[in-house]
Chains A and B, each alone.
Chain A
Amino acid sequence: MTTDSLDPAIARPQLGPPLLDGLRVVELAEEVAGPFASKLLADAGAETLKIEAPDGDMARRMAPFAEPSPHRETSTTWLAYNTSKQSVVLDLDTTAGRRVLQELVAATDILVTDRTPARLAALDLNPDDLRERYPRLIVAAVTPFGLVGSAAGWPSTALTRAHASGSAAGVRRNLGANTGAPLMAGAKVHEADGGTALALAIWAALIARERYGHGQIVDVASTDAMMNMDRVDISIAHNDGGPPPRPPTKGGSAFGGRLECSDGHLIAVTPQSHQWAGLITAMGDPAWAFDADGNLIDRMQLGEEASDAIEEWARARTRDEVFRALQSNSAPAGPVMRPSEVMNSEQERVRGFFDVLDHPVAPSSRYPQFAAQWTGSERAPRSSAPLLGSSSADVTRPHLSPWTPAQARRAGVIG
């Protein structure tokens, strides 16, 4: 894509409405995977009601919090995965609470949930029954081991799911050597995988609904989602008995890998021969890389000395010097950036990847957008995560449920 094509001055039909304008989501989910899926829908313009217990989503209690002290509105995890939603508090241990939930589900396009099959049945939200009652409803579940399968009731946490899926072993493989413990990736990436798989499948179900007129059940096991991210290496391990032995290298790759520079680390990856040649050029054509006739020696024939020389070269330079030298010679490389460096990079500033959202309790902060820009539709306005129960009174809005404010107050549905 040339930059011209993205220039708003170039004639384009005017932007259409936001992607999910006019669609409604009810979310009954906590922590990361389910909330991440519905946050993606909410940020794309779907009106999203998050149902919370009186003490709120578990993520509200997950450290760390905006300083100075823990507060149910300022957990970074809570804030990150609940943008653009409205919060409705319902006590689902009460008949009235369950009735309201039924009515909200009846009026929605998509139900996002992370509840186990047993819990859904207890709430009279059995997916098959819901599908019969509401043929256009999309019931979208992300659970640790799926709605179907004998592991559905297993106790688990993000740690045990990352290991049960192979995802942690996959991270471990990147360390190069063949010993040591399997390792979770940083942040909450493994859990987020369940969320993106669910959101992808919801969009597929929305297309099917537009085309064929019916909803359906979307069943994502978050462990299956994590597993799929390593499907290539898992397949080779299973079908081919593991990868061929690696050449003797450090840092995880035959052709660069993790390099320590004077001010931090950098990753260089040069699998193609022209990229390797670029790395050698960037280093100033050291003699060890060439044979007597002046041709580049096959990399696989080079041993530890080559790795040592590359490492020594990198150590004497900053990340930025190595990065620019390699990139300007078509050798793919990237500095290991801190999150703060990503946020302050010129690249992301120009792309507008972060936008600042205000919040009634937490300080204003920069939030990442979706990783793609749809150039034909307007961006939906985003808002920060809702205060607990801040939209409870919305259950009385006529298009959402039959409750009048007076009825709802009498039934204890709203305060």
Chain B
Amino acid sequence: MTTTTNGQSQQNGQNGHHGRLRAATRSGPLSGKRIIDFTWAWAGPYGAMQLALLGAELIKIESITRIDHSRQRSLAMGSFKGGVNQAPMFNEVNLNKYSIQLNLKLEGAKQVIRDLARTADGAIDNFRPGILEKLGLGYDDLRKENPEIVMLSASALGATGPERNYTGYAPTFAAMSGLSYLTGEPQEPPVMMGGSIDLRAGTAAAMAMLAGFHYRERTGRGQFIDASSSEAIGMHIAEEFLHVDLLGSDGDRLGNGHRAYAPHDVFRCASMRAPEAYTDDHKGAKSGWIAIACRNDQEWNSLCECSGLDHLREDPRFRTGLKRWKHRDELKPMIEAWTSEQSAVETAETLRAAGVPAAASVWGSDIHHSENFQSRGGAVSVRPPETALRHVLPPPWKLSATPAEIVSPAPRLGEDTDYVLSRMLGYDQDKIDALAREGALE
């Protein structure tokens, strides 16, 4: 871990955080760009967060009357114990953002959005298609305020088509994209996919938004972008659609296997790391798995040498790549008999040094401790205002001239309401008080 960056809010206390995110907007590709962020859950917020990491000023529109449920509960785990400002999931996909509380059902709040739209470069939402329009805040409403605004709406299945009103979450996007069907072991049922699906949809949405901003830089034109989360996953499996048309059938579930290579699998190990690694404060996994792939005779021979399984080189069942592939089910227990007495991390190092593609299969703290992650700079630490210090992943791209900065944890609910109204929009206190009396700031 090399960087420690915190928003200024915890130093300045409850109310003294004007310009809390100033540093985020200094040197990024989107510095000086303002984006209204209507998103909630995971996919939309992650997409919007990419833009915030690139320097844009993201103003997340929230309301106590309609709390982003990732502040409260998860699909798999149920409700969180802590309050709405302590949700670990919310923090991960809302870094570098401002939060303003607005009850969009009330006219005063709608006027705030219209005022923001006049000063904004973009807007992004992941409501069900039609919801923002019903509120009078759809693209056609916002472009009246600002014809050059770039607006993206991401929905489960897109804004057109007979199924546009269906609701969905990551597991349903994955199911309706074709990916779930293709995921799993060959003889097992398809696998329900989780949060990574949302973040893939968010990545596609962020890319589409950036393309819209780039276009506006070049041509001066804003536009509306209709994004489908199911299609975002479909876009990642293009070759499977070609499989249908060119081979006349759907592809198969392969698990960890490969169509041509063997061994190509994960194997159970005695432990994740060598025994001496397990100190009292060790946070990684005890049990371990190692992934090993051999693409040719050279890698196979090296594996046999490293593992002491030299006799397998002479075994006629495994003499060529094709034979190893045909007999892969016999090969697997033989390799596993060896790995099950080894530690995953050190064995992977030994195999890689011998030229064999291998990796410990890691998760959680073992990712944070991995050499590949550490040597690229490791985690960034942030301290959400009401929780302990957290280590978060930096973005997956490094831009040499306009680097991303994580300058702040996710905002508390409504943390920046006053700042947005008074400093960004220039409302005076009387006007803000009137909005509060109306209930527009709830």
Contact = CB atoms under 8 A, between A and B. Distances in A.
A232 B363 contact: no
A196 B184 contact: no
B359 A332 contact: no
B192 interface: yes
A250 B400 CA distance: 47
Contacts of A6: 159-160, 224, 226
B19 interface: no
A239 B240 contact: no
Contacts of B253: 186
Interface stretch (B6-14, B167-175, B433-441): B167-175
A44 B130 CA distance: 28
B225 A374 contact: yes
A107 B215 CA distance: 22
Interface stretch (B96-104, B228-236, B273-281, B418-426): B228-236
Interface string A256-297: 011010000111010110000000000000000000000000
Contact of A335 (B156, B176, B292): B176
B352 A2 contact: no
Contact of B183 (A181, A183, A340, A370): A183
A351 B373 CA distance: 40
B361 A168 contact: yes
A387 interface: no
Interface in B209-243: 210-215, 217-219, 221-243
A399 interface: no
A364 to B, nearest CB: 8
Contacts of A237: 363-365
Nearest to A59: B239
B109 interface: no
A365 B30 CA distance: 38
Interface residues of B, number: 167
A220 interface: yes
Nearest to B73: A271
Contacts of A233: 194-195
A178 to B, nearest CB: 10
B333 interface: no
Interface stretch (A76-84, A89-97, A118-126, A401-409): A76-84
A27 B171 CA distance: 34
A162 to B, nearest CB: 8
Contacts, number: 553
A205 B207 contact: no
Contacts of A64: 243, 247, 251, 259
B396 A174 contact: no
Given A186-B184, A269-B172, A340-B244, A197 B203 contact: yes
Contact of B235 (A167, A217, A371): A371
Given A159-B256, A181-B266, A208 B399 contact: yes
A207 B242 contact: no
Which of A64, A154, A189, A265 gathers the greatest number of chain B CB atoms within 10 Å?
A: A189
Given A5-B133, A164-B360, A208-B402, A337 B291 contact: no
Nearest to B363: A169
A77 B390 contact: no
Contact of B215 (A16, A146, A174): A16
Given A216-B399, A258-B192, A154 B372 contact: yes
B52 interface: no
A339 B238 CA distance: 10
B414 interface: no
Interface stretch (A98-106, A223-231, A307-315, A389-397): A223-231
B169 A269 contact: yes
A173 B161 contact: no
A271 B74 contact: yes
Contact of A80 (B208, B242, B249, B395): B242
B210 A204 contact: yes
A379 interface: no
Contact of A267 (B175, B199, B264, B392): B175
B133 A347 contact: no
Contacts of B248: 67
A354 interface: yes
Nearest to B259: A63
A219 interface: yes
B297 interface: no
Contacts of B232: 371-372
Nearest to A208: B29
A335 to B, nearest CB: 6
B36 interface: no
Nearest to A352: B160
Interface in B265-300: 265-266, 268, 283, 289, 291-293, 295, 299
Given A189-B236, A348-B161, A374-B211, A151 B194 contact: no
A363 interface: yes
Which of A16, A20, A247, A266 gathers the greatest number of chain B CB atoms within 10 Å?
A: A16
Contacts of A149: 372, 375-376
Interface in B369-406: 370-373, 375-376, 388, 390-402
A200 B207 contact: yes
Given A183-B183, A242-B364, A236 B88 contact: yes
Which of A161, A184, A198, A327 gathers the greatest number of chain B CB atoms within 10 Å?
A: A184
Contacts of B184: 183, 186
Interface stretch (B57-65, B75-83, B112-120, B308-316): B75-83
Given A233-B195, A265-B189, A337 B376 contact: no
A240 B77 CA distance: 14
A387 B173 CA distance: 34
Contacts of A333: 172
A53 interface: no
Contact of B167 (A19, A20, A332): A332
A337 B181 contact: yes
A336 B210 contact: no
A208 B178 CA distance: 36
Contacts of A69: none
A376 interface: yes
Given A185-B193, A233-B194, A243 B77 contact: yes
A205 B55 CA distance: 12
B42 A166 contact: no
A9 interface: no
A207 B162 contact: no
A1 B200 contact: no
A185 B183 contact: yes
Interface in B135-159: 138-140, 152-154, 156-159
18 contacts: A155-B355, A159-B256, A163-B360, A164-B291, A168-B266, A197-B396, A204-B54, A224-B394, A227-B393, A228-B199, A232-B92, A234-B393, A239-B390, A266-B175, A333-B172, A334-B176, A371-B228, A372-B232
Given A189-B237, A366-B245, A372-B228, 13 more contacts: A159-B265, A166-B364, A175-B192, A187-B182, A199-B207, A204-B54, A216-B402, A223-B372, A236-B89, A272-B69, A339-B237, A371-B234, A374-B223
